[in-house]
Amino acid sequence: MTRAILQVMIRGRVQGVGYRAWVEYQASASGLEGWVRNRRDGSVEALFAGAPTRVAEMVALCRHGPPSSRVDDVTSETADEDDLNLRRAGEAFSVLPTV
């Protein structure tokens, strides 16, 4: 099975609105691995790994976000296993500290 790994940056009103928890829930429900974290510049960064169609669907969901958010821009780039290893040991999907 082919596996896709994408690193995603989400900009807009995406902090203080439950965006990370929403991403964690959506990614876990989709069977994806990865992580999500806030960035000091006000954006949210996430990494999704799994079946290419599921990863693409998750990126599409990120363009809308939870109801209280406002997403202005979503960019993505290919990542690798080293980036995936930032998640906490034993967790399929992690919410990481702000960077």
39 is catalytic: no
pLDDT band at residue 9 using 50, 70 and 90 as cut-offs:
very high
Angle, alpha carbons 11-13-15 (nearest 5°): 90
What domains appear along the chain, each with residue ranges and CATH number?
4-85 (3.30.70.100)
pLDDT in the model for residue 1: 61
**Do residues 37 and 98 touch, judged by C-beta distance below 8 A?**
yes
Say which of 13, 20, 37, 88 is annotated catalytic.
Answer: 20
Instruction: From 40, 33, 45, select the one nearest 7 (Cα to Cα).
Output: 45
37 is catalytic: no
pLDDT in tens, 18-27: 999 999 999 9
pLDDT in tens, 57-98: 999 999 999 999 999 999 999 999 999 999 999 999 999 999
pLDDT in the model for residue 2: 87
Say which of 3, 11, 13, 38 is annotated catalytic.
Answer: 38
Strand positions, DSSP E, the chain? 4-13, 33-38, 44-50, 70-78, 93-95
**Do residues 96 and 49 touch, judged by C-beta distance below 8 A?**
no
